[in-house]
């Protein structure tokens, strides 16, 4: 199968491209610079440009590109970059796909559980409405930008990803060194829910989406049972055999992270109803499974 992937230098996109290639699939990586190899194609989402030759013959397009939410403080300029990198890129790809004489069978467009906003103790699934706040607003616009592909009859799936447990990047990429140093602990009061997923389950779920024609619309990519931050940090301490007793006060997070701290301290109790209904089986359903899987990947 020929599959186009954006965001192939990021945590998820890179792992997905490697996994697909390992199984013999032809992967086309869309890049913003001039292509340097036969497996690369050019795109410039800021200018609504996507090289049609890169999409030609693709049976699936997986769009995972976007500025990192936790990479910088949320200044007005960086919030614009977070939004524009997602909305403009999705619109450019969806428009290019819709214009193809033979479009791909499926367009998997990245999204996030930030769609639901702060849910507190309330469990939500794909039938739940959008929440409030900056990330929720971004996710709504992000998903709406895929409208041209949907209107063209392409099966379009919004992969609403949770917190990916991995050593190489994302939120957990920052947590592992802290806990290894023995200075990890709950964030704020620790009662906020963290909806996590191991990196290998994230990749397997994306491939399951590609291969499952019945799946369309939003699909939550999170482990079956979300846990509180207190439970997650306790599990980190157990697996790494380090104490997890030093809490990080909410005020310290707000000083260090600015507005992003609101999302770190926020609660998202998200369940993957559609993945489970479609027969997907998690390799790492529990948090300790996910942490150990991340440690194993980092060792190879």
Q: What integer pLDDT is reported at residue 261 of this predicted model?
A: 61
Q: What integer pLDDT is reported at residue 171 of this predicted model?
A: 76
Question: In total, how many domains does the chain have?
Answer: 1
Q: What integer pLDDT is reported at residue 252 of this predicted model?
A: 58
Q: What integer pLDDT is reported at residue 298 of this predicted model?
A: 55
The encoded tokens of residue 213 equal 């024609």
**Which residues span the domain enclosing 133?**
2-299
Q: What integer pLDDT is reported at residue 169 of this predicted model?
A: 80
Burial of 160 from C-beta contacts in 10 A (0-12 / 13-18 / 19+):
buried
Asked whether the whole model's pTM tops 0.85, one would answer: yes
For 221-244, how does the pLDDT look when each residue is reduced to its tens digit (9 = 90+)?
999 999 999 999 999 999 999 877
- Matching residue, tokens 């990080």: 248
Contact 98, 148 (CB under 8 A): yes
Where are the alpha helices (H) located in the chain, listed in sequence order? 11-22, 52-55, 76-98, 134-144, 147-151, 170-180, 199-211, 229-240, 250-257, 261-265, 273-277, 287-299
Instruction: State the Cα angle at 16 between 299 and 281, rounded to 5°.
Output: 85
User: Which residues are CB-contacts of 47 (< 8 A; sequence separation ≥ 6)?
Assistant: none
CATH number, domain containing residue 134:
3.40.50.720
Q: Which residues of the chain have pLDDT under 70?
A: 249-264, 298-300
Q: What integer pLDDT is reported at residue 1 of this predicted model?
A: 96
196-198 and 269-270: which strand pairing?
unpaired
């Amino acid at each position: 199968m020929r599959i186009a992937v954006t965001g192939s230098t990021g945590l998820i996109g890179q792992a997905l491209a490697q996994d697909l290639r390992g199984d013999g699939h032809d992967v086309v990586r869309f890049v913003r610079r001039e292509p340097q190899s036969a497996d690369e194609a050019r795109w410039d989402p800021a200018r609504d440009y996507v090289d049609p030759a890169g999409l030609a013959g693709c049976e699936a397009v997986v769009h995972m590109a976007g500025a990192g939410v936790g990479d910088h403080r949320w200044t007005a300029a960086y919030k614009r970059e977070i939004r524009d990198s997602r909305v403009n890129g999705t619109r450019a790809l969806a428009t290019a796909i819709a214009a193809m004489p033979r479009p791909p069978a499926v367009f998997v467009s990245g999204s996030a559980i930030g769609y639901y906003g702060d849910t507190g103790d309330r469990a939500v699934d794909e039938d739940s409405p959008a929440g409030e706040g900056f990330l929720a607003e971004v996710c709504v616009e992000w998903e709406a930008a895929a409208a041209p592909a949907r209107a063209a009859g392409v099966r379009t799936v919004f992969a609403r990803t949770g917190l990916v447990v991995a050593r190489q990047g994302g939120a957990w990429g920052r947590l592992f060194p802290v806990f290894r140093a023995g200075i990890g602990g709950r964030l704020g009061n620790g009662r906020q829910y963290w909806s996590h997923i191991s990196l290998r389950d994230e990749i397997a779920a994306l491939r399951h989406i590609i291969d499952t024609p019945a799946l369309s619309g939003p699909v939550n990519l999170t482990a079956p049972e979300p846990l509180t931050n207190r439970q997650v940090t306790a599990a980190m301490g157990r697996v790494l055999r380090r104490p997890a007793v030093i809490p990080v006060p909410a005020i310290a997070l707000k000083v260090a992270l600015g507005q992003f701290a609101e999302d770190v301290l926020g609660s998202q109790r998200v369940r993957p109803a559609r993945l489970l209904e479609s027969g997907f089986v998690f390799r790492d359903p529990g948090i300790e499974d996910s942490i150990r899987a991340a440690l194993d990947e980092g060792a190879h």
